[in-house]
Amino acid sequence: MELAFHDVHVEIRGKRLLSELNLRIDAGEVLGLVGPNGSGKSTALRCAYRALRPSAGVVRVAGGDIQQLNLRESAQQVAALTQEGGSDFDFTVSEVVAFGRTPHHRGNEPLTRREQKLCEQAMDQVDILHLADRGILELSGGEKQRVLIARALVQEPKVLILDEPTNHLDIRHQIELLAMVRRSELTVVLVLHDLNLAAATCDRLGVLSGGNLVAVGTPQHVLTPDLLLDVFGINATVVAHPLTNAPQVLFALDAAAPPTPAITRNERSNK
């Protein structure tokens, strides 16, 4: 299912967070949003899963304005793992995962046998089946993150929105999660701060800076030394991964470049 942003603009209390974003994610594509802190990545995602209504423009799912769907209908199409996800109540892991079926139920209908199996499979996929009877508040940050990913999966969405899904995860679970995303055949939009993981996972990258989309394309096209200097302010070397040929960003701890005057930055981006 295609997801598209058409001239999406977000302004809150006079501050522009996102400016005329135009971006299409094709059915089955994995697109990563990257950029510095405060560049508009999470704001764009919040518009896609309806936590935020754009000040102007429209987000379309399968060609239709997502704001025209009722909440149940949009939740059947789009599932999200947000940075704010979690629970203040000590539900069990299996109960939290089962909440993912809520958009498909009316009232307190019990899970069908198929849904119970679906929940078990999702927990097994993210390596939390052994935690099924544990309270969510007992878990580590990484374990909670995997519970919330399982909840999104059992929602059976057509579009999956992931805002920093590797937060709190050890390297093994980061790799397993992103490999699962690649295999899912869902339309996926995710925010990642690790550019090397983004390059390994995503079909295309969209680069945001100051609320503007400044580049979009394959990782090989986007992750260049010039862009890394312009957008992230770091001096970096980009090499091809010896096994996958995906670009890999190499930098030293003293790679941060001195601040560049805005006029110079603008001149460089117009070249």
Same domain, 232 and 179: no
**pLDDT at 268 > cutoff 70:** no
| Cα-to-chain-centroid distance, residue 266 | 28
Same domain, 232 and 203: no
Which pLDDT belongs to residue 109?
Answer: 85
**pLDDT at 27 > cutoff 60:** yes
Same domain, 25 and 107: yes
Q: In what order do the strands lie in the sheet with 187-191?
A: 78-81, 159-163, 187-191, 30-34, 204-209, 212-217
Same domain, 200 and 254: no
**pLDDT at 267 > cutoff 90:** no
Structure confidence by residue, pLDDT tens digits, 118-172: 999 999 999 999 999 999 999 999 999 999 999 999 999 999 999 999 988 999 9
CA 181/CA 195 separation, integer angstroms: 16
Amino acid letter, residue 73: E
Of 77-81, 105-109, 112-116, 142-146, the poorest mean pLDDT is in 105-109
Which pLDDT belongs to residue 83?
Answer: 80
Same domain, 210 and 239: no
Same domain, 215 and 229: no
Q: Which range marks the domain in which residue 234 is found? A: 224-271
Same domain, 139 and 207: yes
Which pLDDT belongs to residue 60?
Answer: 96
- Of the candidates 206, 223, 240, which is a domain's last residue? 223
Q: What is the CATH number of the domain that holds 44?
A: 3.40.50.300
Report the domain count for the chain. 2
Three-state SS string across 109-172, please?
A: CCCCHHHHHHHHHHHHHCCCHHHCCCEHHHCCHHHHHHHHHHHHHHCCCCEEEEECCCCCCCHH
- Of the candidates 223, 238, 260, which is a domain's last residue? 223
Which pLDDT belongs to residue 86?
Answer: 61
Same domain, 235 and 103: no
pLDDT band at 98 (very low <50, low <70, confident <90, very high): very high
Same domain, 113 and 45: yes
Q: Which two tokens stand for residue 157?
A: 């969405």
Mean pLDDT estimate for the chain: 91
Which pLDDT belongs to residue 89?
Answer: 75
Same domain, 70 and 161: yes
Q: Which residues of 10-48 are buried (b: 16+ CB within 10 A; e: fewer)?
A: beeeeeebbbebebebeeebbbbbbbeeebbbbbbbbbb
